[in-house]
Amino acid sequence: MPFFYGTEIASRLMLGTAQYPSPAILADAFKRSGAGVATVSIRREAGGERAGQDFWDLIRDLNVQVLPNTAGCHSVREAVTTAQMARELFDTRWIKLEVIGHADTLQPDPFGLVEAARILTEDGFQVFPYCTEDLVLCDRLLSAGCGVLMPWGAPIGTGLGLNNIYGLRSLRAHFPDVPMVIDAGLGLPSQAAQAMEMGFDAVLLNTAVAKAGDPAAMAEGFAKAVEAGTLARRADPMEPRDMAAPSTPVLGKAFLE
C-alpha cells in the first residue's frame, strides 16, 4: 500500500464525501469500497453553532484517514485561512490544497497554488496539491515542499477520464519516486484501472460514485478496478506492437498438402 508523508494508507482508492443522496448511502459506499481516505471540505463545518457536527460524527465513524481540502478557494489568502481552520477542526497536518483559477474548468491557478503550498509547508502542513500534469508546475510544487502530487485526470466532475495520457505518462516518468494520486475527472472504473496501470499510486474521486444510480455498487467497482490495475502494473505487461504475432507457435506444426 502507498505511503503519504510517512503514513501508510489502507487502500489505493480515496473517496470524497460530497453529493451523496444520504448519510447512510455515503457510509455504505465507503464500506463496500474499502477506501482508505475520505476528503472533507472545511466549508461543511464552518457555519453556525454545531453546524455539521452530525456529518463529522459520520466521517469519524468511517474509521479512515481524513484529508480536509480547501475546495472552492480562489485566492492564496482564502486557501491558507481555510487550511488553518481545517487543522484546528480535524487535528491533522494533512491538507488537500485547491486554489481555483478558472471558473468554467475549475483548473488550478498555478501561481497561487505554488505560493500557497510554500506558505503552508513552512507552517508545518503536509500538502496534497490539486494540480495539472504540467511538469514545470509540479517541479515548482516539489521545490515548495510538497511531498505528494495530485494531477487531474480531467476537470472536476466531468467523468472524461485521463484526458492527457502523454502528459500524465511523462509526469510519472519524470518523478518516479514521488507519490502521485490521480485526482478529479474519473467517471468509470476502467479509467481508474488505466491510471494504476500507468504507475500512479492512488486515485481520488467523488462525483462518479456519489452521482451513480447505486453509489455503493459503483464504489465497489472502482475498488476492484484499482486492484486490477495495480496487479497488471506489477505483472510487467507486454508492450503493444503494430504487427500480429501468433499465440500458437508454428514450429513443429504439420503442413498438409
Query: 129 is written with which cell numbers?
Result: 496539491
Catalytic residue (one of 31, 96, 224, 253): 96
Residue 210 dihedral angles phi and psi, to the nearest 5°: -60, -35
pTM (2 d.p.): 0.88
Yes or no: say if 203 and 181 are a contact pair by the CB < 8 Å rule: yes
Instruction: Flag whether pLDDT at 57 surpasses 90.
Output: no
Distance CA 5, CA 21 (A): 33
Instruction: Flag whether pLDDT at 178 surpasses 90.
Output: yes
148 CB burial (10 A radius; 0-12, 13-18, 19+):
buried
**92 labelled as ligand-binding?**
no
Yes or no: say if 99 and 116 are a contact pair by the CB < 8 Å rule: yes
What torsion, rounded to 10 degrees, do the Cα atoms 30, 32, 33, 34 define? 80
Closest among 98, 105, 47, 39 to 74, alpha carbons compared: 98
Instruction: Flag whether pLDDT at 38 surpasses 60.
Output: yes
Please state the rounded mean pLDDT for residues 53-67: 83
Instruction: Flag whether pLDDT at 204 surpasses 50.
Output: yes
Yes or no: say if 102 and 144 are a contact pair by the CB < 8 Å rule: no
| Domains in the chain with CATH codes | 3-235 (3.20.20.70)
Quote the pLDDT of residue 253. Answer: 61
Distance CA 154, CA 152 (A): 5
**185 labelled as ligand-binding?**
yes
pLDDT class of 48 with cuts at 50, 70, 90? very low
Residue in this structure with the C-alpha cell 502542513, named with its chain if needed:
125
**153 labelled as ligand-binding?**
no
Distance CA 218, CA 186 (A): 12
Quote the pLDDT of residue 58. Answer: 83
Yes or no: say if 190 and 141 are a contact pair by the CB < 8 Å rule: no
Instruction: Flag whether pLDDT at 142 surpasses 80.
Output: yes
* Residue 96 falls in the annotated catalytic set: yes
**34 labelled as ligand-binding?**
no
**184 labelled as ligand-binding?**
yes
Instruction: Flag whether pLDDT at 10 surpasses 90.
Output: no
Closest among 89, 88, 78, 4 to 97, alpha carbons compared: 78
Instruction: Flag whether pLDDT at 106 surpasses 70.
Output: yes
Cα 59 to chain centroid distance, Å, stands at: 18
Closest among 91, 97, 101, 31 to 66, alpha carbons compared: 91
Instruction: Flag whether pLDDT at 49 surpasses 70.
Output: no
